[in-house]
Structure 1
Amino acid sequence: MEKITGTIQYQDISTGFWGVIDEQGRKWRPINLPEDLKVNGKKVKMKIKPLQVEASIFMWGEPMEVVEVEH
């Protein structure tokens, strides 16, 4: 698991999806982003679990699971 601080951004690619860009510029694609965090430009601190996905229609970011959000 990792802790990241970043910004939520909507990605208007393909069917569209929500992503997180962390302070180091890494792009993350959450598979379970809570509805209350789906706000473009929202700053977040969260604990995540990077995932290994063999294939995806999204050509953006690393897949991850949100484990905990710091409020």
Structure 2
Amino acid sequence: MSKKIKGKVAYQNLEGGFWSIIGAKGEQLRPVNMPEQLKTEGAAVEISYRPVEEEMSMIMWGQAVTITAFHTLSPQ
């Protein structure tokens, strides 16, 4: 079941670096399939996602998710 969230894109310079989405309420999401169109620091986005059950990951930050749909939002 997909969930929706609004937030901002951020690059995390940890453990080799990765793209993330910080939700409006502070949620920390780590997309495993971050679309190239969203890889812009500070971009406001709305995504639909599903949590990912990872067997093993070197990155110990946020919740791993798969993005199922997305769009960018106008800056406010």
Task: Tell me if TM exceeds 0.5.
Answer: yes
**When the two structures are superposed, what TM-score results if normalisation uses the length of structure 1?**
0.93
- Structure 2 equivalent of residue 55 of structure 1: 56
What 5-or-longer segments of structure 2 have no aligned partner? none
1:4-60 deviation per Cα after TM superposition (whole angstroms, max 9, x unaligned): 001000000011000001011110000111101100000000110111113210011
Pairing 1:31-70 to 2, within 5 Å after superposition: 31-70=32-71
Q: CA RMSD in A?
A: 1.0
Aligned equivalents of 2:18 and 2:30: distance in 1? Answer: 8
> What is the number of equivalent residue pairs in this alignment?
71
Identity %: 35
- Extract structure 1 runs of 4+ deviating beyond 3 A: none
Q: Which runs of 5+ in 1 are unaligned?
A: none
The residue that corresponds to 2:20 in the other structure is: 19
